Amino acid sequence: MTLNTEPASTAEYLRPAKLIDRVAIVVGGARGIGAAIGKRLFDEGARVILGDTNIDLARKTAASIGPADRVMAVEVDISQPDAAATIVDRAMQSFGRLDILVQNAAIYPWTLIQDISAEEWDSVLGVNLRGAFLTARAARDPMAAGGGGRLIFISSITGPRVSSPGHAHYAASKAGINGFVRTAAIEYSSLGITVNSVEPGNILTEGLKAGRTQAFIDSMSAAVPLGRLGDPEDVANAVAFLASDDACYITGTSIIVDGGQTLPESKDFAV
């Protein structure tokens, strides 16, 4: 028998899309991690709605991902009581179903505890934590009517695993998401809806690049066992897995995407 040693064509390496005919909402989808999630879900075959307060940027991102009949943008402030219901209704009107909802929207001002006003505290928890509650509540019935679905919340290692000065409200909101996920997973289990979260470490987004010096980025990278900060696509990969049938028996848990950042007891413990 003669073996074919010629390299395989690109087409032979293409994996089958796992989200054909699914409909997904990504809240906070205009940039960074949210935009990467929207693109990955689209690449897997889903029709996608990007929700964001920055509607102009969301429309630009949607256009860069795919055609208007498969990717659209909706202006939404997820902290507002009716916003989640509005974007879910848009999905039902446009595509007739809802299978996946990713709540990625978050704000993270840097303020020490003694300087945090009640208004700032409420603002951070309003977007980050109340947004999770509102989206889960709005998505429940449409997903159940379609036979089930996937709720995925972007948490963080900040709060559930580690923290730093100036992020008390952000850490509290992200730790709260993980607690909420566990309860929602139990309540929604009989409806065929799984509920999970993803905890990113330091991800090299546009915001991080703009707000941090290269020296800081290099220092943080050196503290990560895998030797680099994460890319938005690293988080999107975890979301795509949780959104797929491959994760049908996973609920009430979280995937840490941090390159091992939270593993060493000290940054000096490197191999």
* Whole-number Å distance between alpha carbons of 1 and 193: 51
pLDDT digits (tens, 9 = 90+) for 31-50: 999 999 999 999 999 999 99
**How much is the pLDDT for 15?**
72
Higher pLDDT, 134 or 16: 134
When pLDDT is averaged across residues 58-78 and rounded to a whole number, the result is 97
Residue type at position 261: Q
> 252: alpha, beta or left, given left = phi > 0 and alpha = psi -120 to 50?
left
Domain for residue 209, yes or no? no
CATH number, residue 99: 3.40.50.720
Q: For residue 222, name the pLDDT band (cuts at 50, 70, 90).
A: confident
Tokens of 237: 């990969």
Domain for residue 122, yes or no? yes
Cα atoms in the Cβ-side hemisphere of radius 13 Å centred on 216: 9
Q: Which residues pair with 24 in a beta bridge?
A: 48, 100
In the DSSP assignment, the letter for residue 115 is G
Q: For residue 249, name the pLDDT band (cuts at 50, 70, 90).
A: very high
**How much is the pLDDT for 2?**
43
Domain for residue 225, yes or no? no
In the DSSP assignment, the letter for residue 23 is E
Domain for residue 207, yes or no? no
Query: Greatest CA separation found in the chain?
Result: 76
Supply the mean pLDDT for the chain.
Answer: 92
Query: Which range (48-62, 79-93, 206-220, 239-253) has the least confidence?
Result: 206-220
Tokens of 160: 């559930």
Tokens of 19: 């989200």
Using the predicted structure, report yes or no on whether residue 265 has a pLDDT greater than 80: no
Domain for residue 239, yes or no? yes
In the DSSP assignment, the letter for residue 117 is -
* Whole-number Å distance between alpha carbons of 106 and 129: 9
Phi, psi of 157 (to 5 degrees): -70, -20
Buried/exposed 63-79: b ≥16 CB within 10 Å, e otherwise: eebbeeeebbbbebbbb
Using the predicted structure, report yes or no on whether residue 270 has a pLDDT greater than 70: no
Domain for residue 250, yes or no? yes
Domain for residue 8, yes or no? no
Using the predicted structure, report yes or no on whether residue 271 has a pLDDT greater than 80: no
**How much is the pLDDT for 269?**
62
**How much is the pLDDT for 268?**
65
Measuring CA to CA, how many Å separate 193 from each of 59, 186, 197?
29, 10, 13
In the DSSP assignment, the letter for residue 212 is S
Using the predicted structure, report yes or no on whether residue 211 has a pLDDT greater than 80: no
Domain for residue 265, yes or no? no
pLDDT digits (tens, 9 = 90+) for 134-164: 999 999 999 999 999 999 999 999 999 999 8
Grouping H, G, I as helix, E, B as strand and the rest as coil, residue 165 is coil
* Whole-number Å distance between alpha carbons of 127 and 172: 12
Which entry of 13, 170, 188, 249 is annotated as an active-site residue? Answer: 170
**HEC sequence for 78-107:** CCCCCHHHHHHHHHHHHHCCCCEEEECCCC
Domain extent for 173: 18-202+231-257
* Whole-number Å distance between alpha carbons of 262 and 254: 14
* Whole-number Å distance between alpha carbons of 52 and 77: 7
The predicted model scores a pTM of: 0.91
pLDDT digits (tens, 9 = 90+) for 181-190: 999 999 999 9
**How much is the pLDDT for 141?**
98
Number of domains in the chain: 1
Residues above pLDDT 70, as percent of the chain: 92
170 is catalytic: yes
